[in-house]
Amino acid sequence: MVSGKGRRLLVTGGAGFIGANFVHHVLRTRPNDHVVVFDKLTYAGNLANLADVSDDPRYAFVHADICDAGAVERVLSAHGIDTVVNFAAETHVDRSIDDPEAFIRTDVNGTYTLLEAARAKGLRYHQVSTDEVYGHVAEGASRETDPVAPRSPYAASKASGDLLVHAYHVTYGLHTTISRGSNNVGPYQYPEKAVPLFSTNALEGLPLPVYGDGRQERDYQWVGDHCEAIDLIVDRGPAGEAYNVGTGTSIQNLTMVDIVLETLDRPRSLVRHVTDRPGHDRRYAIDTAKLQALGWRSRHTPEQAVAMAAAWYRDNEAWWRPIKSGEFRAYYDRMYGGRAVLPAGG
């Protein structure tokens, strides 16, 4: 795609964490692009995430569900969309264990609806996926050509969406690309996820519920780096390709916890090891050589990303404090209220 011409992007799930950061990135770096955010505004969708761009004439918002084919067709036609970037998804593993049906509806059926709409109009389509589709990686690092082996309802729903996307390219010739990102951290992340949960709990002097022994390994990447990668793939990625996105290194969750506490100057006595979740993947690791060959490099290490994220929550209490009540409080009590506290050290 010729960048100078400007793109007309439909960003589904654009009021969520990564989606909102992507919208900010595009409007900041692509002066000729127009962005329409299409979001159902579930518990994790928040228009406050887009308040800074709400007056930009290149931005528009549509409140709708990606499973609503009529709404999707109407917005594509009304705004002359040429590219769909799909962030819309149920994303939290714990919630997928508690209610898998919602994940199948959004991550599989919703993806199908968007693909059908893109096929009908001959649009470009990009699917934002996750490294969790590869499942637990005991050794080495997953490559894009490796088979998917999801181990949670969330990962299975995302893997199913990926397979549909690839099939629409092969069968119908649709111009599709896929990005599989490692664990993102940064502004606007709903505090059910580990880094914002631990950061905000630490700031409130509340316990940090660490699953099991806390030695699970994750590649924590700064969300801004991920957004740059997605933008590059959407702009230059050949049709039918998938790309891993991450720093290429990982740290243990206990290391992440220590960075959060050090950044916020809070004591390690806040850590509580609790019973692990079912089927918890021990290690994720991805090979990012393919994306690097396209011209992308991560700007931050996992350690830097975690510290920057913790500092953001320290400096933006007005954003997260209203969230940690209502739906979140009920979820938190349900997820952690009955978990046994393990002896120190897990």
CATH code, 10: 3.40.50.720
Confidence (pLDDT) at 276? 78
Residue 344 clears pLDDT 70, i.e. is over it: no
Q: Comparing 279 with 333, which gets the higher pLDDT?
A: 333
pLDDT tens figures, 256-289: 999 999 999 999 999 999 987 777 778 889 999 9
Residue 236 lies in a domain: yes
Residue 270 lies in a domain: no
Per the structure, how many domains does the chain have? Answer: 1
Distance CA 303, CA 222 (A): 10
Distance CA 76, CA 214 (A): 45
Residue 283 lies in a domain: no
Beta partners for 341? 274
Residue 291 lies in a domain: no
Q: What is the mean pLDDT of the chain?
A: 93
Confidence (pLDDT) at 232? 98
Confidence (pLDDT) at 24? 98
Residue 24 lies in a domain: yes
Confidence (pLDDT) at 2? 39
Confidence (pLDDT) at 4? 56
pLDDT tens figures, 211-249: 999 999 999 999 999 999 999 999 999 999 999 999 999
Confidence (pLDDT) at 78? 98
CA distances from 218 to 131, 141, 184, 235, 260 (A): 10, 12, 10, 28, 15
**296 burial via Cβ count (<10 Å: 0-12, 13-18, 19+):** buried
Domain containing 165: what range?
Answer: 3-185+222-245
Confidence (pLDDT) at 148? 95
Distance CA 198, CA 261 (A): 9
Interaxial angle between packed helices 153-172 and 111-121, expressed in degrees from 0 to 180 and rounded to the nearest 10:
20
**Residue 90 — pLDDT band, cuts 50, 70, 90?**
confident
Average pLDDT over residues 80-106: 88
In the block, residue with structure tokens 């549509």: 62
pLDDT tens figures, 163-205: 999 999 999 999 999 999 999 999 999 998 999 999 999 999 9
- Pull the structure tokens for residue 79: 């705004």
Distance CA 49, CA 60 (A): 14
Active-site pick, 107, 132, 192, 281 = 132
Residue 1 clears pLDDT 50, i.e. is over it: no
- 43 catalytic, yes or no? no
Q: Comparing 300 with 329, which gets the higher pLDDT?
A: 300
Write down the pTM of the prediction.
0.94
Active-site pick, 125, 134, 154, 284 = 154
Residue 95 lies in a domain: yes
Active-site pick, 131, 192, 231, 281 = 131
- Pull the structure tokens for residue 243: 């790309």
- 131 catalytic, yes or no? yes
Residue 310 lies in a domain: no
Average pLDDT over residues 20-40: 98
Residue 146 lies in a domain: yes
Confidence (pLDDT) at 345? 54
pLDDT tens figures, 122-134: 999 999 999 999 9
* Phi, psi values for residue 121, rounded to 5°: -110, 0
**Residue 346 — pLDDT band, cuts 50, 70, 90?**
low
